[in-house]
Structure 1
Amino acid sequence: MDGQATVFIDGEAGTTGLGIRERLRGLPVTVRSIAAEHRKDPSARRDMMESVDIVVLCLPDAASRDAAGMVESIARAGGRAPRILDASTAFRVDPDWVYGFPEMGQGQADAIRTSRRVSNPGCYPTGAIGLLRPLVLAGMMSPDHPVTINAVSGYSGGGRTMIEAHERDGGPAFDLYGLTLEHKHVPEITRYSGLSRVPVFVPSVGHFPQGMIVSIPLHLDMLAGPVTGADLRAVLAAFYAESDLVSVEDAGPGLIADTLAGTDRMELRVHANDARRQAVLTARLDNLGKGASGAAIQNIALMLGLAPSARPA
């Protein structure tokens, strides 16, 4: 782009918004803000949106829909409508929006680069899709495979109430939730993994601020052909061979969830016991990094024509 690009974060006071603002210091952009007393003023927000290149929405779903509608109204009125990156779940399975997971496949980064509306992926889906999609595309896993996804995240992704609960003395050590099996991340996991059967998704929160592990157990005999753990690893390694942020690592006897806290990377592993014909796939990432703010920076860099590696992981 000519000159320095401008970015407005609508909802910059939240956890994701703060993380994006901090990371934007590493990109050649100007971040514009509205005075705190005017952040809910529709006129002030509209004026700000018309003055910038990209609006990043860090809002609840309903508020994101309203904000996206405001941008559309600017365009209809012939104004200078910005491009949008939305961090909520409002548009992640909307066919009119591009899903902001550049490593998802060939052409995805280019689609993000040219789109006017990009939806930032969820933290849990980033790990689940990262593990499942390559196997489905390779024909190693059938789209109707009965998948179970278990995941544990740091409490920082749960918002102010959860953060306060965990940072008080006696905060919960472990919280298993989503047991209605209607978690809002399931639609994007299903769609972008390439599954036709809705997976069983069991999320949880641990008593640590940042970090995440997504794990998927597999019976190898239920996959296509005589699959081994090495075969699974080879498919994942080939799929992400050119990625700077997603890597396939050697498996060990255990895994600590918060090792990648503060980074924008994701590590994938295949923990296999070929004699038992069993495996567990794992993705480790920072729920606020590659799972939220870090992914947003990667998408902003693409949308502005900047190198995705402009900010070190």
Structure 2
Amino acid sequence: MEKTIVTGADGFIGSHLCEKLVKEGKKVKAFVYYNSFNSWGWLDTIDEKVKNEIEIFAGDIRDSNGVRVALTGMDLVYHLAALIAIPFSYHSPESYVDTNIKGTLNILQAAKNLDLSRVLITSTSEVYGTADYVPIDEKHPFKAQSPYSATKIAADRLAESFYRSFNLPVTIVRPFNAYGPRQSARAVIPTIITQLLAGKEVIKLGALSPTRDFNYVKDIADGFVAIANSDQTIGEEINIATEREISIEGLAKELISQINPTATIICESERMRPAKSEVERLLGSNEKIKALTDWEPQYTFAQGLHETIEWFKQNTAGYKTDIYNI
């Protein structure tokens, strides 16, 4: 049986990916961030039968020895561990360099030395910056519009270098904007939903004009697995996108109409990115993933939003709606 490890397994996308892999009969090891509370993040909340099938490895992606130990005996690694919040990257960029660049280097070096059969490195649509053209394909130029995106560009290029220099079987997987159950409140959809469910009549947001290509988390997990199952994806960088966009204002109005039609929106200055840092438009091409794999999104935006809202209705207690979550 193929032995698979998922880094960042305690996070939003990582926990959904672990669930999918277990349900497909894979032998899964979950690399979670060590902490003295012995918290396994979102994995603590999944079905016990699924969780009991997962081997937990608590460590730190920045530690090369721990990464090497975790990857020993593995066949395939899905590397999702990263710092991802853009506002936090403005005042703590060094932590992003250590986690996103050095952490990825640790994965690549260990995978090379241990001769893993597949290495999937998680990128982000933020590496493209504001679209020069749409839909954004994998040939689009890169623009580092935040310290976060700069570190992800660097990590992607490290991954490319290991493929070209050492023939490491790397694929760079580039999801556009994810949403769904378990997402943190630093993301816009949970920000809106949790404020509405908390009874807020005034919803506080940042810029309203930017557009995003939102992908339901289960479709993203399917995309990772489809990419791993195709030998044609080795050495490639591949978008996971819907080829559909919506503005933040349009998104907010849709959620308001579903949860509390009397609510209104205000823009708070502290939630605004610096002008040159704001990514104004993201609309991704999914032509490449469809050409190289059998992936197709299974959820419409309406279906995904419905499932997300229903999950948050049962899980609002852990969310702080009175502060700006960065």
TM-score by length of 1: 0.39
Larger CA Rg, structure 1 vs 2: 1
Question: Structure 1 or 2: larger strand share?
Answer: 1
TM-score by length of 2: 0.38
Question: Structure 1 or 2: larger helix share?
Answer: 2
